[in-house]
Amino acid sequence: MKGNSFYARKIHSLLGVIPLGLFIIEHALTNYSAFEHGKEGFVDSVKGLHGLPLIFFLELFVIWLPILFHGVYGLYLAFTSNYNTGRYSYGRNWAFALQRITGVITFVFVAWHIWQTRVQVALGNTTNEEIGQHMHNIVTQPVYFTIYFIAVLAAVFHFANGLWAFLVAWGITVGPRAQRVSSKICMGIFAIVSVLFLLSLFAFRSDEFAAAQTAVVGLLG
Amino acid sequence: MADTATATAKRTVKFIIKRQEKPDAAPYTEEFEIPYRPNMNVISALMEIQRNPVKADGAKTTPVVWESNCLEEVCGACSMVINGKPRQACSALIDKLEQPVRVEPMSTFPVVRDLVINRERMFNALKKVKAWIPIDGTYDLGPGPRMAETKRQWAYELSKCMTCGVCLEACPNVNDRSSFIGPAPISQVRLFNAHPTGEMNAHERLEALMEDESGIEGCGNSQNCVRSCPKGIPLTTSIAAINRDTTKHMFKRWLSF
């Protein structure tokens, strides 16, 4: 590949934090409302989000296009790296390898997750109001639950460790002490955001979210 | 006394060496068992193989070819992979190595023959980033500005780089699928940009790291380089510092047009 990759890499790094990092936090908080306030709270959060003005353009420019660029360019970066944790089993080298592995997992998962949720809403197979029941039906299946469990951890690690790398790549954390402190903060972010997502996954499994579905089944039956 | 001599003579050191006839030939390994002598290093063991090129099984072979110069870990010529880690053969003491000692060329670089590699890409990188201070002219420019002692102290650490190639060998992003310039030349940009006279051309070195696809952005922060550098150069600090400088330079250029 010939050309300038400095700007491509800088854009890739920036998009990972703004907007994608912010989006993943927003997503964790919205989902967490399912744990904190139950079904009502979750439906309100989703309604609030989808009531934002210019929602289509917000989704397009803040979520879809950044994910597309960050994901496709990221796959290329993962392909151009060697993996030598066997020879150099240092923590940072493991983080380097995991950053690329979790990136690929996240990319595949996000494509599938968008298909399973946003695209189904667009196709009219479910609605924003019923997305909670829709998730309940998905995560009550052990295979899907396992996939979500692993993929959520992978995605959040990729975000948290990517934030650490962002701080280095933009020259914000320069010395070893700054980088050590920032890695502790980023792993703290990994723990907190992971817990938010996992609690909401468990919340979606509760019977409360099954209600409407049984109602529908009842109607059909 | 005689007993000690016999005991020493009986002790041997086993070597497994990865060899290669010529640049495009397939590599193969050969085993050697050579007599132990006190205070041996990998170079003196290779010299012993050169004197008596006989494999462990008794068959004759060609002497193993290697490069070395200073024998005190300052020239970088004898870098090779010893027991899985790239380092200088001259400072690799047999008494401190696990046996059999596995010796391989640093395969990030083109192999010329056996343990001899071509480190030309490192010297090309230094040319690319202009790792020098331009003072030549048609008349005497006079003395340059003074360098602060505090700055000189950390800059001196960066000047210990001997272009040995160990950091490139350890880096997972220096490979044939990527054109990343590697840690060493980035640290040299920091060194020459820190110099009060070198600083006058700082933008040229930064731009060399920004302007095509083999620049500083190839760093993926595995930080193997700083762990591997035989001279203890703070390579990752240099990379992050130059990340800061190139980022600033990027904004400065955008906003000046």
Mind listing the pLDDT tens digit for each residue in A90-134?
A: 999 999 999 999 999 999 999 999 999 999 999 999 998 899 999
- Domain of residue B171: give its range: 120-256
Are residues B143 and B218 part of one domain? yes
Are residues B166 and B110 part of one domain? no
Give yes or no for a cis peptide into B27 (omega within 30° of 0).
no
Q: What is the CATH number of the domain that holds B171?
A: 1.10.1060.10
Q: What is the CATH number of the domain that holds B81?
A: 3.10.20.30
Are residues B168 and B211 part of one domain? yes
Q: Which of B117, B134, B153 is the last residue of a domain?
A: B117
Residue B21 in this model has a pLDDT that exceeds 80? yes
Answer yes or no: do B243 and A4 touch at CB < 8 A: no
Q: Which of B82, B117, B152 is the last residue of a domain?
A: B117
Chain B: nearest CA to A169, how far in angstroms? 6
Q: How confident is the model at residue A218 (pLDDT cuts 50, 70, 90)?
A: very low
Can you give the pLDDT at residue B142?
86
Are residues B155 and B61 part of one domain? no
Are residues B243 and B151 part of one domain? yes
Can you give the pLDDT at residue B238?
98
Can you give the pLDDT at residue A221?
40
Mind listing the pLDDT tens digit for each residue in A24-50?
A: 999 999 999 999 999 999 999 999 999
Name the CATH topology of A7-220: 3 helical TM bundles of succinate and fumarate reductases (1.20.1300)
Distance CA A24, CA A154 (A): 12
Average pLDDT over residues A64-92: 96
Which residue among B217, B240, B245 places its CB closest to the CB of A6? B217
The radius of gyration of chain A's CA atoms, rounded to the nearest angstrom, is 19
Average pLDDT over residues A61-90: 96
Q: What is the ipTM for the molecules in this complex?
A: 0.91
Q: Which of B117, B151, B167 is the last residue of a domain?
A: B117
Are residues B233 and B129 part of one domain? yes
Q: Which residues of A touch B250 (CB under 8 A)?
A: 6, 10
What are the C-alpha distances in Å from A209 to residues A28, A121, A132, A134, A196? 18, 17, 6, 9, 18
Can you give the pLDDT at residue A4?
76
Which DSSP helix (H) or strand (E) runs through B111?
strand B111-113
pTM reported for the whole predicted model: 0.92
Distance CA A105, CA A48 (A): 30
Q: How confident is the model at residue B216 (pLDDT cuts 50, 70, 90)?
A: very high
Residue from B77, B179, B68 nearest B171 by CA: B179
Average pLDDT over residues B125-153: 93
Mind listing the pLDDT tens digit for each residue in B93-134?
A: 999 999 999 999 999 999 999 999 999 999 999 999 999 999
Residue B224 in this model has a pLDDT that exceeds 80? yes
Answer yes or no: do B246 and A1 touch at CB < 8 A: no
Which DSSP helix (H) or strand (E) runs through B120?
helix B120-128
Residue B6 in this model has a pLDDT that exceeds 80? no
Average pLDDT value over all residues in chain A: 92
Contact A164, A183 (CB under 8 A): yes
Average pLDDT value over all residues in chain B: 94
Are residues B100 and B186 part of one domain? no
B151 at the A interface (CB within 8 A)? no
Mind listing the pLDDT tens digit for each residue in B163-180?
A: 999 999 999 999 999 999
Residue B223 carries which side chain, given as an amino acid letter?
Q
Residue A3 in this model has a pLDDT that exceeds 80? no
Contact B100, B118 (CB under 8 A): no
Give one DSSP letter per residue of A203-218, joined into a string.
HHHSGGGGHHHHHHHH
How many domains does one find in chain B? Answer: 2
Given CA atoms A44, A46, A50, A55 in this order, what sign does their dihedral have? positive
Residue from B197, B201, B199, B191 nearest B144 by CA: B197
Residue B257 in this model has a pLDDT that exceeds 90? no
Chain A: nearest CA to B169, how far in angstroms? 10
Q: Where are the domains of chain A?
A: 7-220
Residue B141 in this model has a pLDDT that exceeds 90? no
Distance CA B168, CA B180 (A): 9
B216 at the A interface (CB within 8 A)? yes
